[in-house]
Every structure is written in structure tokens, then in C-alpha cells.
Amino acid sequence: MAVPKLEMRPLGNTGLKLSSVGFGASPLGSVFGSVSESDAVASVLEAFRLGINFFDTSPYYGATLSEKMLGKGLKALGVPRSEYIVSTKCGRYREGFDFNAERVTKSIDESLERLQLDYVDIFQCHDIEFGSLDQVVNETIPALQKLKEAGKIRFIGITGLPLEIFTYVLDRVPPGTVDVILSYCHYSINDSTLEDLLPYLKTKGVGIISASPLAMGLLTEFGPPEWHPASPELKSACQAAAVYCKEKGKNISKLAMQYSLSNKDISTVLVGMNSVKQVEENVAAATELALFGKDHETLAEVEAILKPVKNQTWPSGIQRS
């Protein structure tokens, strides 16, 4: 049986087609433990070889290390620039948040240098709930439009945790100004609240990136990192679900990936990767889903375990020193 290619999905009205699995490069910044340059480059090469064409980073991840590592990986591909899609962000830095026009304008030049690129496909305002949404609407996005005219970026996006930030901004900018939104932790087995926003986003012609299908580690056998902001109740329910899967010989992370991938209105599911093994596991989850469909029985059991905590979120942002 031939292994199906990774599905390509349109990103809103951009004309871009993204692989259904996207490569989240935050772990390349050693955010979740140290990653060597050779492992970082190898994971980017393997991702591209297996059909992933979308790579997402930010100057905030690993205090610019993620962008540098991703840049080295992309350079090592040795393929035409048009064959991959790169997204980075502005407004969130190691030293804090700054959405003013001057800072974000400088930010793109710094990012392009680190990424060793002439342009990025998508430039996103990062975690805008920590700034002033009115500043993002009136100052940041107009500054990004100038960068678009200058050819340094192709499309404009916004990212953050609370879903209401997206409607707030999209209702206040001219139609077609914001091309993409990146939402995280709101389309996974334990929280599918992004679903309610999909019809609205489609009417706005906005491409939808959903990140963190594993809910920042909640839906893994190892469990979340110490700093995870979820409630003890949510953490223990997810742990119980992971144990249940393991006892059945199933992997909760694969189940979670497949749950997130099965909604075709979401252009790409962005998941952090820092090793060839992780890349292979994530692509395997997608190819198995294409071949065999979802594991409805296990999924129903896991949903039942998580029902008491379904759609429970947490205060915005990862508050880490």
C-alpha cells in the first residue's frame, strides 16, 4: 500500500497551500531542553523530505536561537525558496512586549538576518493579548502593511490564547488586512472552542493555523512541564486519559494529533518538533489518519474521561522567567 503524501490545505485567501502538519520550531530554541545544531538541522531536513512545507518560529523562542537554528536548517535544504513557507513573529521578545511601529519594523530585518532569508511568507503579531489591542489595530498592523509593500513579508497574522482577541482585531481592521490567525490550545481533545469561531473566520477569508494539538504537553505520556498553567484537575484528567491509552497499547499524542488534523477547515496543525523521531511520529499520525481514519473507539473513551474538564482553559500566556 502506497503511503499517502501529506495533505496540502489552502490558507484562507492567501493562495498558499500548507502541509496539514506544520513544523513548530520553538523547541529548536532549546525551550524544552537543549537541542544540538545537528539535531535541529536534521529535523528540518527530515520534515521537508516527508512533505512538511510550513515552518513557524519567533524571535522570542529561545531568545532568537530558534530563528537561527531554523535558518541553518532551511539553508541546508538547498531547494528553491518558493518550495517552503516560513512564518515568524514580532512584538514579543526576551526583554518583553513591544508592538510599536518602530520596533516591529526593526524586528523583521533582525529576523530575516537570523533566518538567512530575503522575505518571510507570514509575519505575525505575537501574543497580542499582552499588548494593547487598539495599538495592534491602529499602529502595528499598518506598520506591517508597509513591510508587505516593501516585499519583506507576504502576509500578516495575529496570534494569542484568548479567542476573543481575534474577533476584536478582525472587526476593526479593513477587510483583507489580516490574512492569518494562529490559535493555540483551542483545538485539541480537551478543548475544541476554536470550532465555534471557524464560521466567522471563514467569512473573513482568514487562514487558520491551530497550534499545540498536545495542549502544551497535557496530552502526552510524559505529562506537561512543571510550569504548565492548567489547573490540577485538568492535569490529572489528562494524565488519566494518557494512562488509559497506554494500557490499551495506544498513544495519546497520536490520538490528539489525529483529532486536530481531522478538521479540514484548519489549514495546518502546528506542532513543536526537535528531533527526526518526533518529525516521523507526527507525519505518521497524519498518514495513518489518511489511510485508516480516526480511532473512534479510543477517542470516545478519552473524551469521556476528559468530559468533566472539557474546554477548561487557563489565564493567558506562559508566565515563565
CA 254-256-257 angle, to 5 degrees, is 65
CA dihedral of 145, 147, 149, 151, whole degrees rounded to 10: -140
Question: How far apart are alpha carbons 179 and 307 in whole angstroms?
Answer: 34
Residue at grid coordinates 520534515: 47
Active site members? 61
Question: How far apart are alpha carbons 78 and 75 in whole angstroms?
Answer: 6
CA dihedral of 139, 142, 319, 267, whole degrees rounded to 10: 160
User: Are 23 and 56 contacting, i.e. CB atoms less than 8 angstroms apart?
Assistant: yes
Q: Which amino acid is at 54?
A: F
User: Are 18 and 268 contacting, i.e. CB atoms less than 8 angstroms apart?
Assistant: yes
Give the start-end residues of each E strand in the chain.
8-10, 17-19, 21-24, 54-56, 85-90, 92-93, 96-97, 120-125, 153-160, 180-184, 207-211, 268-272
What are the backbone angles phi and psi of residue 184, rounded to the nearest 5°?
-130, 150
The SS3 call for residue 60 is: coil
Listing DSSP states for 99-138 in one string gives --HHHHHHHHHHHHHHHT-S-EEEEEE--GGGS-HHHIII
